[in-house]
Amino acid sequence: MGAFRNGGSNYASPSMEDRRLWKHVHDNVHGNIYLDPLSLKFIDTEQFQRLRDLKQLGFTNMVYPGAVHSRFEHSLGVYWLAGNAVERLKAHQGLELDIDHSDIQTVKLAGLLHDVGHGPFSHLFEREFLPQVIPGCKWSHEEMSLNLIDYMVDEHNIDIDSGRLKKVKEMIVASENAPVKTSKEKLFLYDIVANGRNGIDVDKFDYIVRDSRACGLGCNFQFERLLDTMQVIDNEICYRAKEYLTVHKLFNTRADLHRTVYTHAKVKAVEMMFVDALVKADSYLCVSSFIDDPSQYWKLDDSILKTIETDDADELKESRDLIRRIRRRDLYQFCNEFTVPKDKLHHFKYVTPQDIICSQKSGGVTLREEDIAVSNVKIDFTRGTNNPLESINFFEDYNSKNKFTISKDQISHLLPEYNQDFLVRVYSKKPELVEVVSEAFENFQLKMYGMKAQVHGTPERKRCRVLL
């Protein structure tokens, strides 16, 4: 069985009699991706094609110029890996699991459509913009994906069984709402695209490798090893004990990408500037009103930046000026950052511009909230302060039907004691206020922690910029 598991990775290729109805594209991560007829009905809609105009990593290309890949290619990659995963389970445990064609199609569609409801510029739209214009807003791109799928089916008369459609939507939100356990349900299928049990899913497999490649970074996480060695025990996908460190690399690589790419200090500066521009433009463009209507929402993509930049309306002047500052690299100035001490993590509250202002000592300049931007960055292994590996079940060998968890102390004493970092970064929106903001930020740290938690000082060239 071991030799069979490691032989070939193209499980989801169509049979000879199917190829006339399938199409294929060549992906720079996975090679040939074969698209089945039902999936093509969704792909060949304006709602899905919109994903071509949503960059996977938002403004990250301002720092990593190669990071211009789209949600479209990521979605095709997740579709392909989802099909590979369920096909491998069928090949290894087909009679036992009773996986049929409908199961395979359902999982593939969930992978294909999981991001169809994403907003402009990655997660910025729902996490940064909407909370400012609609306080208390609970909107999520996953829920919009469900609404858009229903809209696409109705608008384009896509012939899909209602039971299958319901399962597709359940699999998309499985990470948020794990399905109710029942002995009759093939619950392991819900572990593939968006895993609510332990966070190991093909969505991460694709974006970790794809994002690393686009940014020119190495990636020593090999998702193929996990696909080759997974096995269903008690309705749950489990992994061979020997792959414990491979699983750890999944979460560790994801955390590294968050620190060095997704939350890069310059990337966050650009994001905060664009959010400010979008918030100021909302009363004129009414962007936030799109979130309640799928028939309007699908028209929203990254071109909103160009709309603001080129529209001559007086109502957009402040927003236009911010976009032009981004173009000219006149960004909000990073003053400094600190990592929240580990003994303060459980009681940490997000730092606000008001916190910094209240820490300013008397001086020649009085800071205002609109002078300061604060970025509170959480980096973890998907489970907050908890170790995600504690919720993963392993097995000893392929003949075993016993699953068990593994303590990290059984593996290595080099693995982290804590599984979460909180970084607080402070920016000055005006270059001439860098020194004042930096001093107020240092005072805040002394007041909160009795010390400066940052590991470096603000560069003198920034402090003295006003004099240049």
Name the residues annotated as catalytic.
Answer: 141
Phi-psi region of 251 (alpha: psi -120 to 50; beta: other; left: phi over 0): alpha
How far apart (Å, rounded) are the C-alpha atoms in residues 185 and 102? 14
Q: C-alpha distances in angstroms, 275 versus 13, 124, 135, 286?
A: 43, 8, 15, 14
Burial class (CB in 10 A: 0-12, 13-18, 19+), 430: middle
* Contact call for residues 253 and 212 (beta carbons, < 8 A): yes
The packing angle between helices 101-113 and 162-172, to 10°, is 50
How far apart (Å, rounded) are the C-alpha atoms in residues 61 and 264? 11
How far apart (Å, rounded) are the C-alpha atoms in residues 356 and 443? 8
3-state secondary structure of 231: strand
3-state secondary structure of 394: strand
The packing angle between helices 101-113 and 71-97, to 10°, is 160
Q: What's 340's DSSP letter?
A: P
**CA angle, residues 453, 457, 458, in degrees to nearest 5:** 120
